[in-house]
Amino acid sequence: MANKLSSFDLGLSVDKGQGHEKEQQQMEAESEDKSEAECEDKIEASARLWWGDLVPREDGTVRAKPLPSDVKFTEGRGQWENKAEFILSCMGMSVGLGNVWRFPYLAYENGGAAFLLAYIILQLLVGEAMYFMELTMSQFSGKGPTKMWDMNPAAKGVGIAICVVAINVAIYYNIIMSYTLYYFFASMQETLPWTVCQEEWKREHNCVAKRFPKCTANWKAQKGTCTCTGDRQIDDHLPITCVEKDENATIAAELYFYKSVIQRSPGIEPENIGTPLPMLALCLLLSSSIVVFCLYRGIKSSGKVVFFSVTFPYFVLLALLFRSFFLSGASDGIKYFLIPVWSKLKDMNVWASAAGQMFFSLGVTFGGIIMFGSYNRFNYQVYSDAILIAFMDLATSILGGLVVFSTFGVMAYNIDSTVDKVARSGYGLAFVVYPEALSTMPLTHVWSLLFFFMLFTLGLDSEFGFMETFLTCLQDEFPKLRQYKSIMCVATGVVCYILGLPCVCPGGDYVVTLMDHYGADFAVLILAFWEVVAIMWGYGVKNVINDLEYMLGAKPCLWRYWVFCWTVACPGIIGFLFLYRMIKYEPPKYQDGQPFPQFAQNIGWMICTVSLCPIPLWFFYLVIESFRMPNIVTWEQRKRFLFYPNRNWIPNDGRSVRESLPKLA
């Protein structure tokens, strides 16, 4: 113990005998001129217990001494006021729009329950392990996505890349939220605009307000016999809901979204991009303003908003499920969603789709989980929360699937069709099929208002995570900016709004597709691989377990299972899926199946490169710096400089030596 404590520079004089009596009196006289507060700060800074002497590296060496400046790192960062704020914020980041419009269709498209099984397996082996890793390592250090890499300085580029990906997603995610606001206000009109065909749509696109069963001579309806005259103006006003079905007709809800809301242009070429649409630009401004207002005071304000924004969607989803569950045809849709097609498990596309949904849904590698964990108190027992949040993410995905596919079943029953003919994904699900379904329900306006407000609140929580991640990275790298937190939030909101304006142009839909496909989808797989490798193989899984034992008081339950996931399952599965995606690569496509033009694909790869280039650039920068430092001569010293924790990697416990002496004895 004496040897361990000797590594600390306590800055305190100790009376070792009468020979030092004169020196002691001189020091006491000088200390009288200092204030009591300054003395306490000096003692606390110099006497801070550093866990490096308690938990040595894997090779048995002791880490470098901490500096007094390290103690002041977390000043002004803030902490969660209570457990509920932390859990709800993490749930808001993990439970988002993807649970409602992306998960259900992927489950149907990839074998129903077979997809669910693949999703659960990947979540247990990869998603949950990375979620737990990000929460605990950020909580241990009290640092965000960039500063956390003091554990492995050469990998700091991963943290910078996470910050770039977060702001990229924040820009285009806000566009989707502006769509929901557009529909929310449109739901206040006396007649829902997506239920009416404009004259232009009737002439050019053979528009129909509703989809009806195909009319045959012997078809019987509950309201009477189907009789069609062939004249649409007459058939539309028949007392029975039956008109001749035109296979080439286009539903009004689809035309309203593509022709009226986003006014989608024929292509992504510069001449087709156009100028920002006024109504969408206003909705984007309103959405950005709400996000900035909620983040104005950091987690102190966003932590209060999540009490409503996270819980409200569950009430709406349960109400919609209860409403549609008892309608005819709902069971058919649920069967499509849950009945397994086990042969699908042999298809690697199923596993690739499940992995993509897992990252998109849980929010790992997007920086939000690291950021939220860094605001926890040091000894917070986060293990059970990580399990709970992952379970709630899965439960919400299943709930969203039941709601969506029970509605699909009802729609298919009403038009005498099958579920696969009405099922769509992405925009088509949220802004075409579901508005059409809502128009057939009683109290149509009420359900429409609730549904689109629910979509907005789902997106709001995730947007909090993306924006706060970027702000946290800036404030951690430049601590003086913390005193300008509110100004930083407003400035970031303004910049994101300006950068988002091209996405609300007639060609903006294609821009959003490029940003999502290249700047988030591909980039996240690469980031996830290097993140887990840099921590578990660079910093060392033994060091991680020791850090968790020091922080939580004991090794995590089933720690051998976590070690297997971190060191073998995560890098192996993620690396394999990335290689598979690259081999089976398909560029984004237009609605007619044609791929985007080559120049657009090149822009997409540039977005991907900008997102990922911090990883190699930072590594080479640090290598060059190591050759410029006179005290680094040997390759062993250079290796330690690049890959070993630096002096800033300390636990965020705030303990001093004197406080910890009884525990060290």
Tokens in use for 153? Answer: 């300085």
Cα distances (Å, whole numbers) of residue 607 to 112, 352, 364, 516, 601: 34, 22, 20, 10, 10
Identify residue 512 by its one-letter amino acid code: V
Determine the Cα–Cα distance for residues 102 and 272; give it in Å rounded to an integer: 28
Determine the Cα–Cα distance for residues 41 and 45; give it in Å rounded to an integer: 6
Indicate the DSSP class of residue 378.
T
Determine the Cα–Cα distance for residues 650 and 344; give it in Å rounded to an integer: 48
448 known ligand binder: no
Determine the Cα–Cα distance for residues 8 and 274; give it in Å rounded to an integer: 65
92 known ligand binder: yes
In contact, 129 and 566? CB cutoff 8 Å: yes
361 known ligand binder: yes
Tokens in use for 10? Answer: 């306590």
Cα distances (Å, whole numbers) of residue 554 to 49, 435, 511, 559: 19, 51, 49, 10
462 known ligand binder: yes
Maximum Cα–Cα distance across the chain? 117
Identify the bridge partners of residue 401 per DSSP, sorted by sequence position.
none
C-alpha R_g of the chain: 29
- 589: phi then psi, degrees, rounded to nearest 5: -125, 155
In contact, 604 and 566? CB cutoff 8 Å: no
Among residues 654, 630, 632, the alpha carbon closest in space to that of 641 is found at: 632
99 known ligand binder: yes
- 511: phi then psi, degrees, rounded to nearest 5: -65, -45
Angle subtended by helix axes 156-186 and 598-612, to nearest 10: 130
In contact, 451 and 438? CB cutoff 8 Å: yes
List the binding residues for Na(+).
Answer: 92, 95, 99, 361, 458, 461-462
Binding residues: 92, 95, 99, 361, 458, 461-462
